[in-house]
Amino acid sequence: MAQPPEADTDGGLANITPTPQIGDPVLLDKIDRLFACNVGEYIDLPQLVVLGDQSSGKSSVLEGLTRLPFPVTAASVDAINVSILPDPNSSAEYKERMKSWKISNIKELDGPAFATIMRDVHSVMGLSTNSAHASGLTKTFSNDVLRLEIYGPNEAHLSIIDVPGIFRATTAGVTTTADKELVRHMVETYMRNPRTVMLTVVPANVDPATQEILEMAKDVDPDCHRTIGVFTKPDLVDKGAEQKVVDMIEGRGPGTKLDWSIVRNPGQQELNNSTLDRNTIEKSFFQYTAPWNTLSNERRGVDSLRTRLEDVLTQHIRREFPKVKSEINKKLSLCKRTLDSLGAERDTADKQAKYLLNLAMQFQRIAELAVKAEYGGDDIFDAIAGIRLATEVVHRNEEFSKDMEKVGHEYQFQKYDNGGEEPVLSVPEPEEKFREGGASTLTNTRRIPNALELDELLSAKDQVAGPSRHSILEWLKSAYGKSRGFELGTFQSSLLTGAMRQQSSKWKAISSGYTSDAVALVHSFIITLLQSICGDKQLSEKLVNLLLDGLLEKYRRSLDHTNFLLDAELSGVPMTLNHYFNDSLEKWRQQRMKSAMATMSIDNCTHGSVVPLQLIMQNHPMNNNDHTIRDIHDILCAYYKVARKRFVDNVCMHAASYHLIHGPDTPLKLFSPAFVQDLSEQQLEEVAGEDAGLKRKRVQLKKEIQDLEAGRKALL
């Protein structure tokens, strides 16, 4: 079976060569099989392209090479098939329409039959007649290819393309500037194929330096490994100009590596005379017409051109064939990987459910590894950043604890470690800097960016200032003065509640920011993991949309629990059973007494620093009010530290860990086999059903794999 020839859509027909064959028959037979397997749609295959300007004589050269002028009769072939190869860049619908048009098993292709076929082709492709084109309704050229498959015992295994001739000037009502650019692009596309052997046809009666096709060929094949020059129309060369052409054919042309041949095509009158034979006319011309009769036989005539073409084709194909094999294998592997990434087909509810069940089990397995920080259990933890959930949450826990310790309190607590009663403080700075803009003293409550769907749920980005530089004792003195009753040497219990609430006023912003960040981390993990295991962004987005209501509900539980813990700490009466409170309070009181007595100590005693008993008994460092305020300070300080640590632990353990990560009903456990089993058929179709584009992609990949597999077998 012969490889199908192809035709351009402006009427230039692509034919194939009967015996004697061109090139190595074994290699060309394999090329034929590759084209038959449609491998040429996916990788470049060796082919012969005839190129030239309009009216250069290229179609006559092609006819002379193939020895197969149209119309084709039943005596020379077994069957002829006609089909259209659509432009690869056209839409899917257009491709299907082009591929659906074909005519098979034609036994005879005479003039009227061929004319009928061409009218149908023009109609299907939307090509114009001159009048139709003048009205602007249709087009003159198309990137679609008309393919003629000719089967017969004398047909060679070769693909030959006759592309439209390039042109510079447009014809009103026939061609446009857009047509000129389309044809040029089409020609360049074939020329850029490194496996294309180019027959560049140039009239001998024009200066080759003006032939654009030669410059185009030189750009893509500067060493002329796959380019053959062919002069036509030697009978039209002006007297005195023949020697320049002869010099170029014999390799004496200045600055060219191109090998030339020359042919003499029959003129129109000779074609109209059925008694005249092309070969006879050409042989007579080169035998008796000077100076062409001085050329060597291998450089003149279509028969010698055919022989030279055979040598070039054979060498070129042998050089390119190993690359063809390699590219087929690489393309096949790529197609298989791409098809695998699409997952199993999902055209029924059962397949859709099975597909989602597999995803859910995979999701749960990786989520469990992430929670346990067993990152060596799957390669995904090395391949994707930001998916090491346990580590991310632990880091945020530590930041939350540090924020609460450093900036969670409104006022700096008094310290007694300098031998006096005043707190150890740095040089005071204006209060406004700490409240309105000192960058070094502002702490961000949020560290993790929100996904768009969480903006309404999570707290906004905020900043809290560091502790006030105003004296805590002055604040407590003011608060005590506003709450005094008839008690003696004591204070109202409500004073401690109010003081604790004000001292902890920044807990809400800091804890809300932390819990919002924990939610954002978990949500980001879920989104990233779903995108990874789905391999299809659209599918993962549909799945997230389906899960979103359930996820938001679970996220709210975490945020609500944080608010509950905050309310429990600050709304009720301060209380603790932690013995650390008493220990801490006693240490504060002892430290205060030690600091007060330090100025009266005697250091030159063998017992160390001592204070005489009478001095202790006589010492009254403060009045009753000051003593009460100091006592309130010490109680508040001891309790605040206990409460802060308790609150941080509870928020991390309950609001974040239990509700978001380790509990029985966390967001990580939502996408599970049980969730998939509860989905309706409509939900399965909406989420896991393949859209039209994905179905087409799957069908195309399967076809490519089938064709490439067949092509690989053809090369064995």
Tens-place pLDDT, residues 347-365 = 889 999 999 999 999 999 9
Is 471's pLDDT higher than 70?
yes
Paired strand residues for 52: 201
Residue 473's alpha-carbon distances to 402, 480, 628, 629, 637, in angstroms, are 25, 10, 11, 7, 12
Cα separation, 369 vs 640, in Å, equals 38
473 Cβ contact partners less than 8 Å away, ≥ 6 residues apart:
414, 629, 630, 633
What is the side-by-side order of every strand in the sheet holding 145-151?
Answer: 6-7, 145-151, 79-85, 102-106
Cα separation, 296 vs 261, in Å, equals 10
Cα separation, 650 vs 644, in Å, equals 10
Residue 555's alpha-carbon distances to 314, 367, 564, 653, 660, in angstroms, are 70, 17, 14, 15, 7
Residue 371's alpha-carbon distances to 22, 655, 663, in angstroms, are 68, 16, 11
Say how many Å lie between the first and final Cα of the chain, rounded.
18
Give the DSSP H/E element, type plus range, for residue 684: helix 681-688
pLDDT at 270: 76
SS3 81: strand
User: Which of the four pLDDT bands, split at 50, 70 and 90, describes residue 654?
Assistant: very high
Is 475's pLDDT higher than 80?
yes
Cα separation, 342 vs 212, in Å, equals 47
Q: Which residue has the higher pLDDT, 237 or 579?
A: 237
Phi, psi of 229, rounded to the nearest 5 degrees: -90, 140
Provide the strand spans (E) within 280-404: none
- In the chain, the percentage of residues whose pLDDT exceeds 70 is 74
Which CATH number is associated with domain 6-66+156-334+708-714?
Answer: 3.40.50.300
How long, in residues, is the chain? 716
Q: What residue spans of 373-443 are helical by DSSP H?
A: 380-383, 389-407, 431-436
Q: Which residue has the higher pLDDT, 442 or 107?
A: 442
Q: Which residue has the higher pLDDT, 1 or 467?
A: 467
Top-confidence range, 261-275, 468-482, 677-691: 677-691
SS3 582: helix
Percent composition of the chain: helix, strand, coil (DSSP 3-state, to 5): 55, 10, 35
List the chain domain ranges. Answer: 6-66+156-334+708-714, 366-678
Cα separation, 232 vs 261, in Å, equals 9
Is 40's pLDDT higher than 70?
yes
Average predicted confidence (pLDDT) for the chain: 79
Q: What is the dihedral of CA 587, 591, 593, 594, to 10 degrees?
A: 130
Residue type, 512: S
Write the pLDDT tens digit of every residue in 411-437. 888 775 544 444 333 333 444 444 443
* CB 335, CB 701: distance < 8 Å: yes
703's tokens = 């076809």
Is 502's pLDDT higher than 90?
no
Residue 635's alpha-carbon distances to 332, 496, 626, in angstroms, are 77, 8, 14
User: Which of the four pLDDT bands, split at 50, 70 and 90, describes residue 678?
Assistant: very high
Residue 380's alpha-carbon distances to 384, 544, 599, in angstroms, are 6, 20, 66
Write the pLDDT tens digit of every residue in 144-203. 777 766 666 655 444 566 666 555 545 555 556 766 777 788 888 888 888 888 999 999
pLDDT at 558: 96
Residue 458, classified by CB atoms within 10 Å of its CB into exposed (0-12), middle (13-18) or buried (19+), is: buried
Cα separation, 685 vs 688, in Å, equals 5
Cα separation, 246 vs 139, in Å, equals 41
In whole angstroms, how large is the CA radius of gyration of the chain? 45
Write the pLDDT tens digit of every residue in 53-105. 877 888 788 778 766 554 444 445 667 778 777 776 777 777 778 878 888 77
Q: ω into residue 71 within 30 of 0, thus cis?
A: yes
